[in-house]
Structure 1
Amino acid sequence: MALTQLPPAPLTVTEESEEPSPRSRQRMQESTPAAQAEPQRSPKREEEGPEAARQPQVLQTPLAVAGRRPLTQKRLLSAYDEAEGKAPGGKRLCPESPRDPAAEPCSPPANGLDGTWEAESDGSEAEDQPSDGQSPLSAYERKRLKNITENAKFFAALQLHESAARLQRIATKRRSPVTKSRAKPKKVEEEPVRRRSMRLQRVEPSEIAMPEVFTQPIAEEYPQVPAGPLPMLPEDQMGDSKLTEGLLAVWMSISEVEANEAEKQVPDMERYQDSLNSMVLSEENIRKVVKSRVCSMAIHPSESILFVAAGDKTGQIGLWNVDCRSEEAAHIFIPHNDSVNCMHFSPCNPAHLLSLSSDSLRCGDVTRAVFDEIYRDEEMSCFDFLEYGAATAVVGQWNGAVVMVDRRTPGASAELSADIGFKRTRTVHVHPVHKQYFMAAGSMDVAVYDVRYLKTSKNKPVSSLQGHTKSVASAYFSPVTGHRVVTVCADDKLRVYDTTSLSSTVAALRTIKHNNNTGRWLTRFRAIWDPKQEKCFVVGSLVQPRRIEVFQDTGKLVHTFCNPDCLASACSINVLHPSRNILVGGNSSGRLHVFREETTGLRS
């Protein structure tokens, strides 16, 4: 609270009865700043006469109040009174006391009309002349000084400044969360149930309608597969049962009979195109073999019975006897914990099915009904046999390295791990004629290496296939001579290379525009050569209606496998029979589609 500024204290005038003593005049001169040097009368003022000399001058002297800055009071003096120390009319001015600076100067009230100051006095000489010799104070001045002192003490006792500061701090403090008014939550209105596709729900499609809320991935429904050999039992079989005896018996029988195969015959392009036209898809040749997305497939080389194996992303392997129409024609096994990236029937013994996931390489031996563990490691992506006997294999890893594995060596360890300088290795493929050469495809690298000169590190390729600008999904030699290589790249290109002579760098022979943007929910496309035809390869397609395309190495589209009534999804993984006109395509829901000749007989 601010104190109200009082009006300037008036001067005290008293009747002059006699001439002031020299001592009193000296005190008066010392108490005022004008007395420090006696003013000289201006000649101009003397010339103007006594009326000009008596013009009032305004002097200001500080008025000290306890607890406040000194106020200023005005005094009216004429030139004559200033020199003589007298007030007009013979009044004497009340000078300030120079001895006591803290003493309150006199300031009687003004009448506010003519600017003159009147002094209240009871007429006693004792009041005007104190005994100590100081300047006399009137009764009004003493009363006023007393009031000022009492008011100052009263306001000091109120501690207004401290209270204002304390209130300011309280106002700026953060309010307690309890005192905050919480907004009432809005009432959630029940929205109508919206239909969402299974792709948006991240649920793998199936023949049976699945609930909208999918709580667990399919892979977590099963316990982890232990290391070592596993019995060849289907996933729905809890104990000893004869559910799979018929299926495994068929596999064993066709492997024993078909051990000695005749020589492969390569038809000309005209006959080959006629055979492609004779292959059709029907509803009875479509079946869900595994529960999740197909990542790899293998087809048995038997000519009497069509026997297919498929591996999905959860580690399941499905075996399907396509010629059998009963419910027992297909069964699922779980030899792996992770995606089955690569599968091959042994070229010398079709009773052995080798499958690879990211953590293990296993051999399913139908003669002993067991899945043996050949090699165990981490981040494996693919493999291929280094020789016809299938005793040794080259294994690619996701970290870019390649590993040499010999099945004849006891234990599940590798013979050699070689760093070929890749950031990622997705596929490896061995030359069909010169088995010492193998090709690796990775991020943007495709190169051919000689297995005889592999070292642990600093391996140089025999030949590099140039031109890829994005990651490469696959690269394979042509099946008969190895004179061609086809690659699938994420830059929406299929490239064909001439590898007749393995020079240090090889440029693309043909470049085919092809939509390879399979995205997250589809397995990457892999272009594979037809083992019956050296110059043609097969690849999946995203064109509507869905189809599987056959290209010649010149870039020409030779044939399109399409059936809008039966094929409604993209088949990323495809496999061709080595001697029969049969094509099998697998999609992201675990279904297999078999294109075959219409004249082929079916068994009950």
Structure 2
Amino acid sequence: MCIIAPKIWGHGRPRGTTKSSNVSSEKKVISETPIGSRRSLRTQGIAPDDVTDPPKKLQNLKSHVIPKESPQDLIAFSMRDASCSSKSDEALVSKILSVRKEFGLKYGDCGKKFRVMASIDFNTMVLVPENVARVVPNSILSVKFFPSADMSIVAVGNKLGDVGFWNVDSEDKDGDGIYTYHLHRAPVSAIIIQPFSLNKIITSCYNGQVRSLDIEKEMFDLVYSSDGHEIVSMSQRLDYVNSLYIGEGPGVVRSWDERSGKTSFSWELHEARINTIDFNSENVNMMVTSSTDRTVCIWDLRKLGKSKPNSLKMITCERAVP
């Protein structure tokens, strides 16, 4: 129950009274004016069921309170519902699906594509204004290029939970090739685009959720939700598309099987949060992790048991390793 004390306004001195008598009368009025105080329902003899509806102002405040985990966060939603603009994203969907269908990659082609990109002389590259664009508002925390030489599309995630796609070579008459979607309620920590299945884009965020975009279905689905732990990093082996390696909480790597919806393995590899997880493209059993505990470690997945594993190599740095 909210009680608001009324304001007390001073009045002029009545005719025929002296200044001193007026002061005393004002003091008397002030001293006798009741002061609003908070009283419990029990002391007023009111049962809880007899309480009337709260003021509209309080009702509005209550309606704007966002729960820690909204039911909306746990369901799938369409690209159209998540879009931050009114323009159609048909051009983006068509481009990705056409490249995937015509130039679908096999497992053995992944390493070849990466080797071609590694052979580029980046010192000869220059930046021109036409290749600069604001894809999402606020700071970008994660960036991922589509692993295909047949299209120039980049995906980015920002601090607001937005994921944006920029088709650099877009020829759309109605836009600039930029498409933005609001997927998460926390900063986007990682983006995965599978080289052999370009229609599947996976994103993670700091509030412990992982979502998967199926371009063919044009749907964002919830893949994984942690139990109160933040997700800072995420990666995937090139030879196994159904398994995600998630850097969760203080130093834990979790292997999540999408088909079974269960954890395959969970290892405590660092003393603080894991900022990066990556795999050797030539030997997918080799995994590297970097952490806020100032270490970088190389692991052999074949030697990681249920007990606390030992790394093949550890490098200690002076500061936290991103």
Q: Per the shorter chain, which TM-score range?
A: 0.5 to 0.7
Assess, with a 3 A threshold, how the Cα gap between structure 1 residues 268 and 446 changes in structure 2: closer, same or farther.
Answer: closer
Aligned counterpart in structure 1 of residue 195 of structure 2, from 336, 347, 351: 347
Cα RMSD between the aligned structures?
A: 2.8
Match of 1:395 in 2: 246
3-state SS of paired residue (1:414): strand
Match of 2:158 in 1: 312
3-state SS of paired residue (1:287): coil
Match of 1:227, as an amino acid?
L
Distance 1:251 1:427 in 2: 27
1:399 CA drift (Å): 0.9
Aligned counterpart in structure 2 of residue 445 of structure 1, from 275, 286, 295: 295
3-state SS of paired residue (1:284): helix
Aligned counterpart in structure 1 of residue 97 of structure 2, from 252, 255, 258: 252
Q: Residue deviations 1:415-458, cap 9 Å, x none?
A: 22221242221111112222222111112111122323434442
2:73 aligned with 1:226, yes or no?
yes
Please list, as runs of the form range in 1=range in 2, the aligned pairs for 1:85-484 lying within 5 A after superposition. Answer: 226-233=73-80, 234-236=82-84, 243-260=88-105, 263-264=112-113, 272-273=120-121, 276-277=123-124, 279-324=125-170, 326=173, 327=175, 329-358=177-206, 359-377=208-226, 378-409=229-260, 411=261, 413-442=262-291, 443-466=293-316, 468-473=317-322
Match of 2:301, as an amino acid?
V
Match of 1:350, as an amino acid?
L
Match of 1:260, as an amino acid?
L
Structure 1 unmatched runs, 5+: 1-177, 179-219, 474-604
3-state SS of paired residue (2:101): helix
Distance 1:414 1:339 in 2: 24
Match of 1:452, as an amino acid?
R
1:266 CA drift (Å): 5.1
Distance 1:469 1:453 in 2: 28
Assess, with a 3 A threshold, how the Cα gap between structure 1 residues 363 and 265 changes in structure 2: closer, same or farther.
Answer: closer
Taking only the aligned residue pairs, the percentage that are identical comes to 21
Match of 2:178, as an amino acid?
A
Indicate if the aligned counterparts of 2:298 and 2:313 stay in contact, CA closer than 8 A.
yes
Distance 1:248 1:447 in 2: 39
1:387 CA drift (Å): 3.7
Distance 2:202 2:117 in 1: 32
3-state SS of paired residue (2:187): coil
Structure label with greater radius of gyration: 1
3-state SS of paired residue (2:211): strand
Indicate if the aligned counterparts of 1:348 and 1:389 stay in contact, CA closer than 8 A.
no
Match of 2:105, as an amino acid?
N
Indicate if the aligned counterparts of 1:347 and 1:390 stay in contact, CA closer than 8 A.
no
Distance 2:146 2:276 in 1: 21
Assess, with a 3 A threshold, how the Cα gap between structure 1 residues 276 and 258 changes in structure 2: closer, same or farther.
Answer: farther
3-state SS of paired residue (1:253): helix
Please list, as runs of the form range in 1=range in 2, the aligned pairs for 1:493-512 lying within 5 A after superposition. Answer: none
Match of 1:344, as an amino acid?
I
Match of 1:351, as an amino acid?
N
3-state SS of paired residue (1:417): strand
Distance 2:139 2:103 in 1: 31
Indicate if the aligned counterparts of 1:353 and 1:364 stay in contact, CA closer than 8 A.
yes
Distance 1:265 1:390 in 2: 17
Match of 2:282, as an amino acid?
V
Paired residues, number? 244
Indicate if the aligned counterparts of 1:385 and 1:394 stay in contact, CA closer than 8 A.
yes
Distance 1:267 1:346 in 2: 17
Match of 1:406, as an amino acid?
D
Distance 1:422 1:290 in 2: 33
Assess, with a 3 A threshold, how the Cα gap between structure 1 residues 445 and 373 changes in structure 2: closer, same or farther.
Answer: same
Assess, with a 3 A threshold, how the Cα gap between structure 1 residues 447 and 433 changes in structure 2: closer, same or farther.
Answer: same
Match of 1:121 in 2: none
Indicate if the aligned counterparts of 1:244 and 1:328 stay in contact, CA closer than 8 A.
no
Indicate if the aligned counterparts of 1:314 and 1:338 stay in contact, CA closer than 8 A.
yes
Match of 1:385, as an amino acid?
Q
3-state SS of paired residue (2:128): strand
Indicate if the aligned counterparts of 2:139 and 2:159 stay in contact, CA closer than 8 A.
yes
Structure 2 unmatched runs, 5+: 1-26, 28-65
3-state SS of paired residue (2:88): coil
Match of 2:33 in 1: none
Q: Residue deviations 1:177-226, cap 9 Å, x none?
A: x9xxxxxxxxxxxxxxxxxxxxxxxxxxxxxxxxxxxxxxxxx9xx9651
Indicate if the aligned counterparts of 1:394 and 1:404 stay in contact, CA closer than 8 A.
yes
1:301 CA drift (Å): 2.5
3-state SS of paired residue (2:129): strand
Q: Residue deviations 1:316-348, cap 9 Å, x none?
A: 000111112542511111121111111121122
Indicate if the aligned counterparts of 2:148 and 2:195 stay in contact, CA closer than 8 A.
no
Please list, as runs of the form range in 1=range in 2, the aligned pairs for 1:477-556 lying within 5 A after superposition. Answer: none
Distance 1:389 1:257 in 2: 22
Assess, with a 3 A threshold, how the Cα gap between structure 1 residues 319 and 267 changes in structure 2: closer, same or farther.
Answer: closer
1:272 CA drift (Å): 4.5
